[in-house]
Structure 1
Amino acid sequence: MKEKTYLDNVHRLRALNFFSRLDEHILEEFRKNCVVCSISVGETVFLEGDESSGIYFIESGKVEISKRGVPIAILEAGDYFGEMSVVIEDEQTRSATAHALDDLVLFKIDLGFIKNYFVGERSPLYDLILTYNTRLKKHNEKVVDQYLSLQKNYLALGETNRQLLKTEKLASIGTLTAGIAHEINNPLTIILGYTDLLLKDPDLELTGNPLFQKGIRYIDKAAGAIERIVRDIKNYVRMNPDEIIKINLNNTIQSTLDIVSYLYRKNKITLNTSFTSRKIEIMGNPGSLQQVIMNLLSNAKDALEEIEEKEKIITVGTDVEEDMAVLIVEDNGCGIPPEKIDHIFEPFFTTKGINRGTGLGLDIIKKIVENMKGNIQVKSNRKEGAAFRITIPLA
C-alpha cells in the first residue's frame, strides 16, 4: 500500500456522493486530513480484528468485504467502508476483512478527525444508527453461520457420495469373487498340468517334440487369459475418475463381459452381443465406463431371477447414430412396473427386495453418463423385459 500525506484538491472529494453537499470550508478540512492510498489488486486493505483507524472512500476500483472468510459485499467507486468504527464507540477493531479486487485508489479519513464532525454528542439519529448496526451485525453473523454450515454439509455430502461410489463398486466386486476365481483357476490348471508333464516325463525330447510344442502353445494361451482377466479387473477397480482418455467402446464392453461371463453361465443366463462393425471411440474414464456396464448387467441379472418358463437372455449392443455412440443393454426379464419407471434413477429408489440393493446403482450410472456428456433412457414391458439405452458423444 502506498500513501500520500495529503489530497491535492477538494474536487476529487466532492466527486464522491458522501462529500457532495458539504460546505467548502468543511470539505477543505477533510482534504487536509485525507490520505490517498494506492493498493494493488489482490492486496488486503485491513483484516477482521485489526485495530480501527479510519474510514476508506473508494475513488476507483472494487473492494470485497468478507467475514470469517465468507464474502458479504462488493463495493465500487463512490462507496465507503470501515464506518462502524466511527459511529459505534466500542467498535475498536475491524468487524470484517477488506480485499482489493482491482487496483484501488482510496481516500482514508482519520478516525479521530471524522468523529468530531459526525458523532459529537449523542442524538436520536445516532441511537437509531446504533440500534440498526446491532441488528445488522446479528443478521450478518447468522447469515455467515448458515453459509459455513451449508458449506460444511456440502463438503460432507460430497465425501459421502464418493464413499457410496466406492461401496457400490466394492459390493459389485464382491459378487464377482466366485466367477473371478473360477476364470483364473481354469487357465492355471492347464499351466500347472502341462508344466508338470514337461518336467516329469524322463523320456521327453524337447527339441522338435510335438507334445512339447503343443504344451507350450497351451501354456502361452492360458497365461494370456490370466493376463487379460487381471487387466480387466484392474481397469474396473481403478478409482481415478479424473483420468479421461479415449476409450474403445466395444473392447471395453467385451472385457467387462469376460469378467462376468462365468457367473452368468452358472445362472443359466445367455449373454449375447450385437456390436456394430464400426470402431467406436468415446472420451471417458475406463473404470467408470466398466462400472456403468457392470451395474446394468447386474440389474438385468436380478430381473431374470424370476424367469423360469423361458430362456434367460441379456443382449448388449452398440451402434452409431450421427455423432453419438449408442450402447444398449436389454433383458427378457420381469420388466419394470409402470408406476416405478419414472423413479428408477432417483437416489435410494429400488425395485428390489429388502437387503437386495442400495438403490444407488442407476443413480450412479446416470451421473457417470452425464459426466461424459451423455444421456440414458429406459423402456420396459412387463412381459418383454427392460432395455437401457445410453448415448455418448463420439471422440
Structure 2
Amino acid sequence: MRVSLAWKWVIASLIIESLMLTLMVLKNVNQLETNLSTQTNIRLDEQKILLKSALIAPIVQMDYATINAILNETKKIPTVDYLAVLDNQNNCISSVGWDSCKNLPKKEDNPFSKKSLKDERFDTNIPISLFSEPLGKVYLGLSTKFYIQAKKEMITRSIIIALMELILSAILLIAISKWITKNLVKLTHSANAIAHGDYSQRINLGDSIETLELQESFNLMAKNIEKSILDLKHLNKKEKKLFQELKSQVEKNHEQDILLKHQSRMAIIGEMLNNIAHQWRQPLNAITVQMSGLKLRKELNLIEENEIENTSDSVMKYASYLSNTIDDFRDYIKDYSSKKKYFNIETSLNKAIDIVSASLKNNYINLQIVHSKDELLVNGVINELTQVFINILNNSKDILNENDVKEKVIVINFSKEDNKITITIQDNAGGVQDNIIDKIFDPYFTTKYKSQGTGIGLYMSAKIIHEHFSGEILVKNENIDFNDKTYIGAKFFIILPI
C-alpha cells in the first residue's frame, strides 16, 4: 500500500508528538508522586507530633478513656485507617480500626511503595517517650487511596488533553502538509499528463524563489520533451518511408536474384545441350557408319556370318553410352535442389568433368588434375559446387578458343591446410586484363560477344561460394608451365572452410 508524502509527514509528526506527550504524562505522574510523598511525610510528621503530645500524659496517668477518646477523634481524619497504642511492654492499651492490637503490621518506609499501593495502606508506628524513657508505641495506618485516585484522575486528564492536542495537531499538520505539497501535487499531475501524451502541459507554482526555479526547470524540460517528441515523430515518418523504400529495394533485389538464378540455370542448360551434342556426335557418327556399311553389304550380298550380330552389339554399346550420358545430365538437374550434407569435393569435380569432358576433348584441351592425399569433405549441396566447376571450366575453354592458343591446358589442384580447403583452376589463355579483373564477378559482365555469353556464370559462382559455402573466390594472373613452355593464365582460387 502506497502512502502519500503528506500523510507520511503527518503520521511521523503525530508519532513524535505522541512520544513527547507520553513522556510528559510519565513525568507528571512522577512529579505527582514526589509532591504527594512530600505532603504526606509533612502531614505524618505533624500527626506524630500531635499524637505524641496528646498521648504522653494519658499514658503516664494510665487514663485509658482519654487515650481511647484521642484515638477515636484522630480516626475521624479521612486518611487514617487504624490506630493502636501499646505500652512499653507491648501490651495493648487501645485500638481503633484494628482488632485488639493483634498482628499489627510492620513499619513501612515509603507510603508509595508497591506494598502500600497494593493494599492501599501505609503502615508506620510512632515511639512515645518522656525524658528518653520509652512509654510505648502508636501504630498508625494511613490510606493511600487518595494517591491512587489522584493518579488515575491525572492520567485520565492527561490522556484527554493529549488526545485533544493530537487531534488539533493532526488537523493543523494536514492543513500544513496540503499547503506544502500542493505544488508537488501540481507537478505530479503535470508529469502524469506528459507521461500519457499531453506534451503541452505547463505548471504555475507561485512566486517564491524555490518554486519559481522548479517551475522554470519543469516547464523547460516539458518544452524540450515536446520538441524531442515532435522530432521523433518526424524522424519516425522518415524511417517508415526509408523502410518502405528498403523493403521495395529488397523485394526488387530478390526478384533480380531469382531472375539471375533462372538465367544462370538456362545458361547451364544451354551449356549442357552443347555438351550433349559433343558427347553424342561421335557415337551417332559411328552408329551411322556401321548401319550404312551393313545395308550396303546386304545389297551386295557380302554379309558374313555373325556380322549382323557384331554390328548389333556395337550399336547397343553406343546406345548404352548415349543413355548413360542422358542419365548423367538428368541426375545433375534432379539433385540441384538437394538439402545440405557433407560430400567429397573431388566427387563434385568428377560430375562436372563428366559433363564437359567431351567438349574439352573436341576443343583439344588437356585437363590435368593434382589430387590431394586428404579426404576433402565440405557441407553443402554437391551440384551447386559442380555448377561452379562447370562455369569456370567453360569460361577457360571459351577464352582458350577465343585467344587461339595452340597447346591448351587446364590445371586443377587441391590442397588442405588448417581449417580450410583451397581449390585452384588455371588455364594458359593469357590471363585477365588488369582493367577488368576486378569486375569479372559482377552480374552481366562479359568479354564475350552478346550471342556467346550472359555475364552471370562467374557472378552466380561467386554468390554460391560466398552465401552457400561461406567461402571465398578470387582470381589472379600467374605463370603456368606446359610442355616446356611458360604461359600466363587466369588462376581461380576457391577457398572453403571445413
TM-score by length of 1: 0.57
2:461 equivalent among 359, 365, 374: 365
Give 1:143 shift: 2.0
Q: What is the CA–CA distance in structure 1 between the aligned matches of 2:472 and 2:227, rounded to whole Å? A: 55
3-state SS, counterpart of residue 304 of structure 1: helix
Give 1:171 shift: 1.3
- Percentage identity across paired residues of the two chains: 27
Q: Deviations over 1:305-345 (max 9, x none)?
A: 23335222223332333443332211111311123323333
Q: What is the CA–CA distance in structure 2 between the aligned matches of 1:222 and 1:355, rounded to whole Å? A: 33
* Map of 1:258 onto structure 2: 354
Q: What is the CA–CA distance in structure 1 between the aligned matches of 2:264 and 2:490, rounded to whole Å? A: 22
Residue ranges of structure 1 left out of the alignment (5+ in a row): 1-7, 13-22, 34-54, 57-79, 90-122, 198-208
Q: What is the CA–CA distance in structure 2 between the aligned matches of 1:26 and 1:187, rounded to whole Å? A: 103
Q: What is the CA–CA distance in structure 2 between the aligned matches of 1:354 and 1:185, rounded to whole Å? A: 26
Residue ranges of structure 2 left out of the alignment (5+ in a row): 6-179, 202-218, 295-305, 480-486
Change over 3 Å in CA distance of 1:300–1:237 after alignment to 2: farther
Q: Is this contact kept in 2: 1:236–1:290, CA < 8 A?
A: no
Change over 3 Å in CA distance of 1:238–1:155 after alignment to 2: farther
Asked if residue 378 in structure 1 is aligned to residue 475 in structure 2, the reply is: yes
3-state SS, counterpart of residue 333 of structure 1: coil
Asked if residue 392 in structure 1 is aligned to residue 496 in structure 2, the reply is: yes
Query: In structure 2, what residue type is equivalent to 1:140?
Result: N
Residues 290-301 of structure 1: pairs in structure 2 closer than 5 A: 290-301=386-397
* Map of 1:317 onto structure 2: 413
Asked if residue 234 in structure 1 is aligned to residue 331 in structure 2, the reply is: yes
Asked if residue 9 in structure 1 is aligned to residue 113 in structure 2, the reply is: no
* Map of 1:286 onto structure 2: 382
Runs of 4+ in 1 over 6 A off after TM superposition: 26-31, 123-132, 185-194, 211-218
More strand by percentage: 1
3-state SS, counterpart of residue 147 of structure 1: helix
Q: Deviations over 1:45-95 (max 9, x none)?
A: xxxxxxxxxx79xxxxxxxxxxxxxxxxxxxxxxx86x33x3479xxxxxx
Q: What is the CA–CA distance in structure 1 between the aligned matches of 2:317 and 2:184, rounded to whole Å? A: 94
Change over 3 Å in CA distance of 1:351–1:216 after alignment to 2: closer
Change over 3 Å in CA distance of 1:30–1:148 after alignment to 2: same
Change over 3 Å in CA distance of 1:324–1:24 after alignment to 2: same
* Map of 1:176 onto structure 2: 272
Superposition RMSD in Å: 4.5
Change over 3 Å in CA distance of 1:354–1:178 after alignment to 2: closer
Q: Mark the structure with the bigger radius of gyration.
A: 2
Change over 3 Å in CA distance of 1:29–1:181 after alignment to 2: same
3-state SS, counterpart of residue 271 of structure 1: strand
Give 1:246 shift: 1.2
3-state SS, counterpart of residue 151 of structure 1: helix
Q: Is this contact kept in 2: 1:327–1:391, CA < 8 A?
A: yes
TM-score by length of 2: 0.47
Which stretch of the first structure deviates more once superposed, 257-266 or 133-142?
Answer: 133-142
Change over 3 Å in CA distance of 1:324–1:133 after alignment to 2: closer
More helix by percentage: 2
Change over 3 Å in CA distance of 1:309–1:290 after alignment to 2: closer
Size of the aligned set, in residue pairs, is 285
Q: Deviations over 1:207-239 (max 9, x none)?
A: xx9x98997899589647634652444335755
